[in-house]
Structure 1
């Protein structure tokens, strides 16, 4: 029997090593997952003669349309009365420049758009194909087509060709220098050009404060008050550990933390440690215990006998929802309210991020993390780049390497380049228990050995979703409405996962919708909510601040910085945020 166990352990170890090697070879993407999706689609398409006939008819019709478009363009030139052909989606800006209306570039981009339409039809609606496989194949087709987009090639991009003629090729020389600089920085492990202008503690993360707690996982920062009186209930912010906390404390003009402090709130914020190999066994329970609960104990000691406005962003919001459900189950009434920013609690429809989540993919990542002890930031960045390939990859290639124009670095871009790692055990639990199995929304996620239910939460909740979020789609965030009957104020704001949250007052192009469902109120589906919620211009920050103020007591003198057992130590932003 011992030999049998030894052989099984050896086989498991061999499989893990082989899968880890596969992950390195295929950029942390499972080749098996891709082949399963492709074969599922191809086999079902092969046995769907009706679909094949429809695709053939579509191809013939598109060929006729393209030929007719070409004849009109060649005979009428730039006649403004001429039909414009196929229009790209509203968010597709690749062919917006007027140069694309000139022959033969108009023909090229029309051909590309028609090809894109055909592949969209070919990869969707094939009977019998598993939905996840359909999404993967459609996504892969879009990525492959983008490689051959005429906008991404020197010889077929009229804007680049015109610039090259005007500048005698100087743009290409600058582009080559930009590419060489980027490759050199990549090889040396240096951040992108321009990030040196946004040093943490000097240019960003400069709101004054003190570290009042440090353990092996977090530092807790208490921010210095700027008003003579403060709202008595403190605000505790739980950011995601997939990002550095200072996205909420960027430059002074767009720092949410500074905004709250200036509005008379006592603010505390967690700063997560950037884990290394020695932290491989830290799990979600540790993030609850050493993170949220340790911080809450400190806040209770510094601001005694006051309930806390708990606020979570992204995965920090998910962790906070778990903690709040466990506290409600156990009769712990220390929280005054919950605020959740772009945070999912139901992962049944995780959006495009779900393309990278299935059993095969998770198994490959687990094998790789077994060896490294953590998930590298570059592995996560690669997935996000593919989800937004035009914005994060192709537009940069064209602008910086073909047009020779460096995109000016800003604080949000510099923060995005300051990436973090994730411990192996915690990330595996997150992928399996939350993303893959959706245990939280189904009442199966355990805390302290017993499952928690979001339906136990009775605190008032303020939620924020962002319109163009690729990480936590707003309709997925909205699902908390049918998981609990408590009062929920939901704000849907313009922007994406990061820019929608970093949303200071004063920008006239920003807008949001806001609606409150009272406790015990009827459920309203996302699209119905969208049609019914009143719209407002500007930032949602003041609306949230007013919501917090309405649930706070009369102003009091600011608390001391630190308390017994929680001595005010290093200046903000502390040490952990500086770790690479």
Structure 2
């Protein structure tokens, strides 16, 4: 008879199994008796979330599933239990558990126990009675963040991969991870990618062009034509001021700007200045008037009546205000068409960002801005929290605990290239738009004394939304279709806030949906929509050409620096490099 391996845990005896089976059976009986007693006690008040029948039922299910996990741990050959409540069902599958080590009996029990408790916590938030819907969403968001933070994958001694790596490297992986963590602490920001892999002007933002105007708030970049003929009506792009503009000019194969130039467009890009103490008094009016100023600058430089305009994310919000401002002044013809990339104007369904906008949060932002501007790292941390599992804890596990190298990733480099914000302007944006939703109320907001009314805007409009967008939810972007009065095309793109926009045709990724029928809701749009594989960019350029196909020679003022505005410096300019 072979001797037992002393390095392996001893298998439970038949008596052990019989004893623990009795323990679990008795526990189940006690839970049932307690539930029946509570349900039948008429002298005690029923307290929602404590002793109401639904809560008692969930508690019974939790204990039943917990005992099943213990039974699985004692007898690995038993079939894996299927808990009624799991974090996986409620928050999606955690990619950090895909390693084979998590399927081993002990770690399988750790993982399933975590999912069971996390699922019970999230389900209890959903089941709380008489709770304001907004408050429920705040609690659910906080609970989900807590659940993600407490994952056993985030701790060295409850993650089998970390233990195995530490043993294999004789602890060197832990030291490397510690260096990574200390470096992030010193810079006050989580690292997502190799810091030396990318550089603006070297392998990012490399589309040739010149800065042709500089103001205290923005630089205006004109890009060099690559076609002999260009459309007569130029394009002006307004990127978010909370990020660097080169999200639309990443590596050459991903660059929307380079692609648009190749389609025969004369492209101008606004590059916003990262805020400093000199911008303490910058407000809502300044950004809207800056967009109107950029439109006028391009019109005068090229001698054209109008421009096409794009507003991305928050700059789309101010583009809507700019259109209303020009309309009120009788100057609507200055913008031939407006395109909105994942932009919100009605914030009644603005998604999870609203969890960060209440009086306490606004007061904290003010306290964080003693010099008149908000450090961009605060906004970066906020956006990371919206996808904490992917943008925080995934990197804690891989780069702090496992000590892995940071992969080169252009999009994540851009994501970490933060921009400071004028504090007063940022606070008014959050208060007046996100919290109070004033932009959709005619006359409640104004620019330079001109009341704004979005319902007067008749500019032809192209609206793009991302189906999985967690920053500007598609349902929120859709609300723009109920405000403007002119012809409008709505396109729902696959993926989210960034990948849904930055999706070059050559990549052959994702898809988009269109629907020419007159529908009132996004659900109706989706139900009758036609799906097209690949990028929506070709659909957009076709729409642009339908607004005017006249072409001119790509000479004279169409070449940066050869018109009335001299070239100040090469693209991508100076503001994009300022910190």
TM-score by length of 2: 0.85
Q: Is the 8 A contact 1:48 1:127 kept in 2?
A: no
Cα separation, 2, equivalents of 1:191 and 1:157: 21
Aligned to 2:109: 107
Aligned residue for 1:498, secondary structure, equals coil
Aligned to 2:40: none
Aligned to 1:403: 402
Cα separation, 2, equivalents of 1:99 and 1:316: 46
Cα separation, 1, equivalents of 2:311 and 2:283: 18
Aligned to 1:51: 49
Cα separation, 1, equivalents of 2:412 and 2:380: 13
C-alpha displacement at 1:425, in angstroms?
2.1
C-alpha displacement at 1:69, in angstroms?
4.1
Cα separation, 2, equivalents of 1:84 and 1:121: 16
Written as runs of structure 1 = structure 2, the 5 A alignment for 1:523-538 is: 523-538=519-534
Gaps of 5+ in 2: 1-43
Aligned to 1:41: none
Structure 2 CA distance for partners of 1:90 and 1:190, relative to 1, 3 Å: closer
Cα separation, 1, equivalents of 2:135 and 2:445: 27
Aligned to 1:321: 320
Greater displacement, 273-282 / 171-180: 171-180
Aligned to 2:553: 557
Aligned to 1:540: 536
Could you list the per-position Cα deviations for residues 230-267 of structure 1 after superposition, in whole angstroms to 9, with x for gaps in the alignment? Answer: 11110100111101111111111111000000111100
Q: Is the 8 A contact 1:478 1:526 kept in 2?
A: yes
Aligned residue for 2:507, secondary structure, equals coil
Q: Is the 8 A contact 1:470 1:496 kept in 2?
A: yes
Greater displacement, 507-516 / 430-439: 507-516
Establish whether residue 363 from structure 1 lines up as the match of residue 363 from structure 2: yes
Aligned residue for 1:112, secondary structure, equals helix
Aligned residue for 2:309, secondary structure, equals strand
Aligned to 1:441: 440
C-alpha displacement at 1:117, in angstroms?
1.9
Q: Is the 8 A contact 2:184 2:190 kept in 1?
A: no
Structure 2 CA distance for partners of 1:561 and 1:76, relative to 1, 3 Å: closer
Aligned to 1:579: 578
Cα separation, 2, equivalents of 1:91 and 1:207: 39
Cα separation, 2, equivalents of 1:48 and 1:481: 47
Cα separation, 1, equivalents of 2:439 and 2:509: 36
Aligned to 2:413: 414
Establish whether residue 148 from structure 1 lines up as the match of residue 150 from structure 2: yes
Cα separation, 2, equivalents of 1:398 and 1:256: 33
Cα separation, 2, equivalents of 1:389 and 1:158: 22
Cα separation, 2, equivalents of 1:303 and 1:145: 56
Given candidates 125, 128, 145, the residue that maps to 1:126 is 128
Written as runs of structure 1 = structure 2, the 5 A alignment for 1:307-318 is: 307-318=306-317
Cα separation, 2, equivalents of 1:486 and 1:94: 48
Cα separation, 2, equivalents of 1:274 and 1:547: 33
Written as runs of structure 1 = structure 2, the 5 A alignment for 1:348-497 is: 348-369=348-369, 371-443=370-442, 444-497=444-497
C-alpha displacement at 1:316, in angstroms?
0.8
Could you list the per-position Cα deviations for residues 97-116 of structure 1 after superposition, in whole angstroms to 9, with x for gaps in the alignment? Answer: 33322212222222222222
Aligned residue for 2:399, secondary structure, equals helix
Establish whether residue 294 from structure 1 lines up as the match of residue 285 from structure 2: no
C-alpha displacement at 1:174, in angstroms?
3.0
Q: Is the 8 A contact 1:302 1:560 kept in 2?
A: no
RMSD: 2.4
C-alpha displacement at 1:91, in angstroms?
4.9
Aligned to 2:11: none
Aligned residue for 1:104, secondary structure, equals helix
C-alpha displacement at 1:190, in angstroms?
11
C-alpha displacement at 1:319, in angstroms?
0.7
Cα separation, 1, equivalents of 2:490 and 2:93: 25
TM-score by length of 1: 0.85
Q: Is the 8 A contact 1:302 1:561 kept in 2?
A: no
Cα separation, 2, equivalents of 1:490 and 1:335: 19
Greater displacement, 252-261 / 507-516: 507-516
Gaps of 5+ in 1: 1-45
Cα separation, 2, equivalents of 1:471 and 1:221: 27
Cα separation, 1, equivalents of 2:268 and 2:105: 59
Aligned to 2:98: 96
Cα separation, 1, equivalents of 2:93 and 2:507: 21
Cα separation, 1, equivalents of 2:225 and 2:93: 42
Q: How many residues align?
A: 525
Greater displacement, 154-163 / 206-215: 154-163
Cα separation, 2, equivalents of 1:230 and 1:223: 12
Structure 2 CA distance for partners of 1:287 and 1:48, relative to 1, 3 Å: farther
Cα separation, 2, equivalents of 1:493 and 1:501: 8
C-alpha displacement at 1:73, in angstroms?
5.9
Q: Is the 8 A contact 1:302 1:562 kept in 2?
A: no
Aligned to 2:515: 515
Aligned residue for 1:205, secondary structure, equals coil
Aligned residue for 1:311, secondary structure, equals strand
Greater displacement, 422-431 / 546-555: 546-555
Structure 2 CA distance for partners of 1:90 and 1:146, relative to 1, 3 Å: closer
Establish whether residue 66 from structure 1 lines up as the match of residue 66 from structure 2: yes
Cα separation, 1, equivalents of 2:341 and 2:258: 17
Greater displacement, 106-115 / 270-279: 106-115
Structure 2 CA distance for partners of 1:98 and 1:428, relative to 1, 3 Å: same
Aligned to 1:13: none
Q: Is the 8 A contact 2:68 2:81 kept in 1?
A: no
Q: Is the 8 A contact 1:302 1:563 kept in 2?
A: no
Cα separation, 1, equivalents of 2:549 and 2:301: 17
Cα separation, 2, equivalents of 1:287 and 1:454: 17
Structure 2 CA distance for partners of 1:127 and 1:357, relative to 1, 3 Å: same
Structure 2 CA distance for partners of 1:545 and 1:70, relative to 1, 3 Å: farther
